[in-house]
Amino acid sequence: MYLARLIYTSHPSDNFKPEDVENILTASRRNNLAKSVSGLLYFNQNYFLQCLEGSRSSINQIYHKILNDDRHGTPLILEYKEIVERDFPRWEMGYLPETADTRLLYRRFSGADEFIPYHMSGESCHRLMIEMRKLVKAV
């Protein structure tokens, strides 16, 4: 059961409503717990950035479910990697919305002050999410 990490980004679609975040997290935590998947979801109204970690088959199954969700679109895998250790082992799905603190991180990990994950390397996105981990309130 090789451990792996997948980081992708996507846009909310016209079908997405702000109150969907709560439903997405409830379903995520239920399904991810059942498959020993952990991770972090960041959302800034324009983009989702999500890290999934777990066995590669579980990640694959969860990612396929996510791809079929019409509340977002234009998914792009930014990183897929076999890893030796999880970064978010305690969170079936941690969640972080944009705040003044998260905005300060954009310039550090990208070539712009604006957050456009489609223009960022997988490694920058990974490091950004590690920094974001400190800003997540208790799940």
Looking at the Cβ atoms of 37 and 120, the one nearer to ligand FMN is: 37
Region from 24-32, 95-103, 117-125, 126-134 binding ligand FMN, contact rule CB under 6 A: 24-32
Distance CA 96, CA 68 (A): 23
3-state secondary structure the chain: CCEEEEEEEEEECCCCCCCHHHHHHHHHHHHHHHCCCEEEEEECCCCEEEEEEEEHHHHHHHHHHHHCCCCEEEEEEEEEEECCCCCCCCCCCEEEECCHHHHHHHHHHCCCCCCCHHHCCHHHHHHHHHHHHCCCCCC
Question: Which of the stretches 22-30, 80-88, 94-102, 126-134 binds ligand FMN when contact is defined by CB under 6 A?
Answer: 22-30
Task: Output the smallest distance, CB 27 to ligand FMN, in A.
Answer: 4
Query: Which residue, 50 or 110, has its beta carbon nearer to ligand FMN?
Result: 50
Q: Is residue 112 involved in binding ligand FMN (CB under 6 A)?
A: no
Q: Quick check: 40 binds ligand FMN (CB under 6 A)?
A: no
Site for ligand FMN in 52-81 (CB under 6 A): 52, 62, 65-66, 69, 71-72
Footprint of ligand FMN (CB under 6 A): 24, 27-28, 31-32, 41, 48, 50, 52, 62, 65-66, 69, 71-72, 93
